[in-house]
Structure 1
Amino acid sequence: MSFISVLKEYRKGALLAALDEELLIVASEVEEKGKSGSLTLTLSLKPNGQEAVTMAAKVSSKIPKETIGDAIYFVQAGNLSRSQPDQLDMLEDEVATQRSKKEGA
């Protein structure tokens, strides 16, 4: 029996249906995320008597994941902060000057 025939006949076509469904999912995610993915079919065979084998099929895939990226936080007294404690805010003086002008006007 050929490889293609085995795929067609394995569990009355259930293996091909599972491969088809998983391939569509992987392809869609690859298109959406712009990253690579993969689909793997593993067939394991073990002896079952003198003239027979038992075949187990496993379909697995790697779907591309979106990466969020890293972020830097500073620790101040056990709390997380996005502001570096030793650095002045670039806009702090400008904002204070604009507030003073509005209040004086």
Structure 2
Amino acid sequence: MARRQVNPRDLDLVIAAVHAVDPCPADQEAAWTDRVRERAVSLYVLGDTVGQDIARLDAAKQFTATLLDVRVEASSTRGVLVLRNTSGSSSSSSGPTAAIPRPGGR
């Protein structure tokens, strides 16, 4: 019978999952294996999500601009940035990349 080749990524996920769960208690190998399997799947999903986030960041357009003003939204802790790009036009941006905390944390 031919031996199946293990994907190195899968092996890395299992090793990370083993390190992330508690040591295997005596006589509880089945439950411990289930915890390792669940953690490995969680790590895989997390890795996929992080990969998508990195791809989105890689695809983002970078530009040089001058920060003209920052206004805190009344309904949240986000800031609205008013920028002027090198062509001279200005625009506003808000969201996670423009988030700033309000003074005093609120």
Question: Which bracket does the TM-score occupy, shorter chain normalised?
Answer: under 0.3
Question: What TM-score results when the alignment is normalised by the length of structure 2?
Answer: 0.26
Higher CA-based Rg? 1
Question: What TM-score results when the alignment is normalised by the length of structure 1?
Answer: 0.26
